[in-house]
Structure 1
């Protein structure tokens, strides 16, 4: 199990060069679903980052398959120490069920390395429609407070995983 994920953003040629320069790493290239040419490269090797200015996330919790393919939903929230305990309990309740929501491959709770009161709920789905269905389900209800209230500095981003050959150079 890896203990951290590093991320960087850039153009396709720059991200491709990083991958070429680090063939011993496991990278995942992501493309924004809403902003054309917004590309992100994840280093999921768990090793010290290969990026010049990485965003590094410590993995606080993971459940799933580690397949790194599909629809990525990053949900960013800011919590107090007490709220982190409540959030963790909600994650525990969701993942202690016999099965994860239909279509959910992986669920990560990430902590930005230099921001201990922030959390990123990273969910990786088979399809974006699986995520949309979960958002309307009872198992999502405990998490609505974070996106619906202005109190948690909530924002999110959606990406899809790209295979190396799926973008032109």
Structure 2
């Protein structure tokens, strides 16, 4: 399981140049499925951050280290109580999802420097596999945390590998 992930955003060329300068790293260049000019470069080498404007994640729980196919990034910023409840539910879902069709990795992470921000990062063979998981009874216990409200903020983005 990946213990640390850093990523950043930029143009395809800028991110490719960064990757070329660091051949000792394992990068995943991704493009947003919602906006084909929005790129992200994930450093999954587990090494210290090299980006000037990173988003840094530390893994709390999960399985897999194969970020390929469709990558789902979900960010939950919750109250202290809701965060604790959400994380417990997410851990149960992750434990039960190891055999989910098409699941390559599911990681529950802290966003470094952002208290109460929990990230659920998952990788799937196809969009259909991700959709089936999101629509499953298993995943449904997290739905309440993805509704925006006065005590919570939710963001999600889905990516495909660009190279």
Q: TM-score, normalised by structure 1?
A: 0.88
Q: What secondary structure does 1:93 align onto?
A: helix
2:88 maps to 1:89:
yes
Which of structures 1 and 2 has the bigger CA Rg? 1
Q: Distance in 2 between matches of 1:28 and 1:50?
A: 14
Q: Residues 14-163 of structure 1: matches in 2 within 5 Å?
A: 14-64=14-64, 66-97=65-96, 99-150=98-149, 151-163=151-163
- Count of residues paired in the alignment: 162
Determine if contact 2:102/2:125 at 8 Å carries over to the other structure.
yes
Once the two structures are superposed, what CA deviation does each residue of 1:51-109 show, in whole Å capped at 9, x if it has no partner?
12211111112212x11211011111112222222112212222333744221111111
Q: TM-score, normalised by structure 2?
A: 0.91
- Displaced runs of 4 or more, over 4 A: none
Structure 2 unaligned spans of 5+: none
Q: Distance in 2 between matches of 1:162 and 1:110?
A: 23
CA RMSD of aligned residues (A): 1.6
Q: Distance in 1 between matches of 2:2 and 2:129?
A: 26
Structure 1 unaligned spans of 5+: 164-169
